[in-house]
């Protein structure tokens, strides 16, 4: 059976009809709190009674946007990622500010990173980025009816370039390895699936 994500006071929770035994937290310590994330080290009791240590990166969650122009092209951004050590081609995305609504986060990031506002924001799906060590959950939206908008612009620590690609081009960029960012691959494949459902093709 599947699981349903629900927003409760800004915190996304999972309700599943059939869960495996849960791990119970015995003790924990927060080792670091930063602008974007925090690091916790917890001791847990497993279902069989044994104990284990879990290192968890806590994250407020994020939104990623698939911005679709009227001609069907998708807006991507190129930016240098320090952690990866290279420039990546990505969909616009960013973390939620506190209990910010995911759709509001998506609209804000779209405007800041691309200079576009959307007449329509459609929720596609949500997913964990790396549940082996972080609770980060990303909400993916399709943005259409784009129009240029005057806004606050990109963050002071970001240098971005825009690139406009067709869906077929995006697929080739994924296959060739030029697009290697996970949330971007997921978002584009979700968009491709949606397009296939609308047209009756793949």
Give the separation between CA 48 and CA 136, rounded to whole angstroms: 27
DSSP state of 64: E
CA angle (54 as vertex; 29, 185 as ends), nearest 5: 115
Give the separation between CA 119 and CA 198, rounded to whole angstroms: 19
**Count of CB atoms within 10 A of residue 9's CB?**
6
CA angle (143 as vertex; 140, 148 as ends), nearest 5: 135
Residue 21's Cβ-count burial label (10 Å; 0-12, 13-18, 19+) is exposed
Query: Is residue 91 a contact partner of residue 188, using CB atoms and an 8 Å limit?
Result: yes
Residues taking part in catalysis: 158
Give the separation between CA 140 and CA 158, rounded to whole angstroms: 21
């Amino acid at each position: 059976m599947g699981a349903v994500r629900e927003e409760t006071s800004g915190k996304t929770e999972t309700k599943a009809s059939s869960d495996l035994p849960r791990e119970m937290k015995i003790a924990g310590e927060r080792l670091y709190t930063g602008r974007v994330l925090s690091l916790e080290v917890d001791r847990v009791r497993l279902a069989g009674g044994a104990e284990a240590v879990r290192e968890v990166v806590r994250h407020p969650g994020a939104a990623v946007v698939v911005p679709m122009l009227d001609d069907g092209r998708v807006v991507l951004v190129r930016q240098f990622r320090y952690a990866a050590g290279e420039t990546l081609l990505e969909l616009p995305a960013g973390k939620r500010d506190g209990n910010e609504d995911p759709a509001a986060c998506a609209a804000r990031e779209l405007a800041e990173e691309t200079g576009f506002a959307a007449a329509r924001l459609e929720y596609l799906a949500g997913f964990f980025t790396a549940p082996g060590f972080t609770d980060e959950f990303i909400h993916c939206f399709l943005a259409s009816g784009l129009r240029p908008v005057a806004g606050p612009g990109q963050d002071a620590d970001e240098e971005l370039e825009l690139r406009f690609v067709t869906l077929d081009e995006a697929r080739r960029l994924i296959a060739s390895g030029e697009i290697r960012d996970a949330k971007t691959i997921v978002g584009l494949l979700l968009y491709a699936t949606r397009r296939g459902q609308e047209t009756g093709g793949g």
